[in-house]
Amino acid sequence: MAGPVTPMVILTGISFGNKWLNSGQPDLKILVEGGIATALLALVAQAPGWAPVATGVAWLALIGVSIAPGQNPSPAQNLLKITGG
């Protein structure tokens, strides 16, 4: 895996796991939406000169999802709670 695929797969896994941890039930829509977003960014990365842009967007999305409280609590807050930090 290269380019934007790796951070998008990680992002999807973190979002899926965090939602499952917060609600107690898996939400398969996250996996479908993550797959679509990954495919679109991989497609953009194929355009000449756009691979670094697509990769940067994917890494920024991963950082944003991990830190920002889009889900309450955020993945970073859940990680601190789980590890006792």
Q: Kindly indicate the confidence band of residue 84, based on its pLDDT and cuts at 50, 70 and 90.
A: confident
d(CA 64, CA 80) in angstroms, rounded, equals 17
pTM given for the model? 0.87
**Per-residue pLDDT tens digits for 22-77:** 999 999 999 999 999 999 999 999 999 999 999 999 999 999 988 887 778 888 88
Residues 6+ apart with CB under 8 A from 71: 15, 18, 19, 22
Domain boundaries, the chain: 5-83
